[in-house]
């Protein structure tokens, strides 16, 4: 399964199941800083950043608020996904 993890003005296209709130926050912490030679912790092994995917294949979306606003392009993508019936999960609102 493929989804999008949005953190402020950054986003990741992710292969893996819909993460819960705690995992989404851990993934953002893991991927937001480039750390050469660091391996992914085993609990996060089932999620991987991918570089390309058709937007129609995105099946889940999680927004983790950051210091910056979500870019207009990602906002449009989230709106398209919502129109297709995909729930946009927000880490501030609660658990899913």
Q: How far apart are CA 75 and CA 77, in angstroms?
A: 5
Domain boundaries, the chain: 2-90
Residue-wise pLDDT for 9-18, tens only, equals 999 999 999 9
Distances in Å between the Cα of 26 and the Cα atoms of 13, 58, 86 are 15, 21, 22
| DSSP 8-class letter at 17 | S
Residue-wise pLDDT for 32-83, tens only, equals 887 777 788 899 999 999 999 999 999 999 999 998 999 999 999 999 999 9
Q: How far apart are CA 94 and CA 92, in angstroms?
A: 6
Closest CA to 91 of 30, 23, 45, 31: 23
What six digits make up the tokens of 85? Answer: 């019936």
Q: Which residues contact 94 (CB under 8 A, 6 or more apart)?
A: 21
């Amino acid at each position: 399964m493929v989804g999008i993890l949005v953190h402020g003005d950054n986003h990741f296209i992710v292969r893996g199941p819909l993460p819960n709130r705690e995992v989404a926050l851990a993934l953002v912490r893991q991927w937001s800083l480039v750390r050469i030679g660091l391996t992914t912790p085993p609990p996060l092994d089932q999620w991987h950043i991918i570089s390309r995917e058709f937007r129609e294949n995105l099946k889940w979306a999680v927004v983790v608020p950051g210091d910056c606003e979500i870019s207009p392009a990602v906002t449009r993508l989230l709106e398209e996904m919502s129109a297709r019936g995909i729930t946009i999960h927000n880490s501030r609102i609660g658990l899913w």
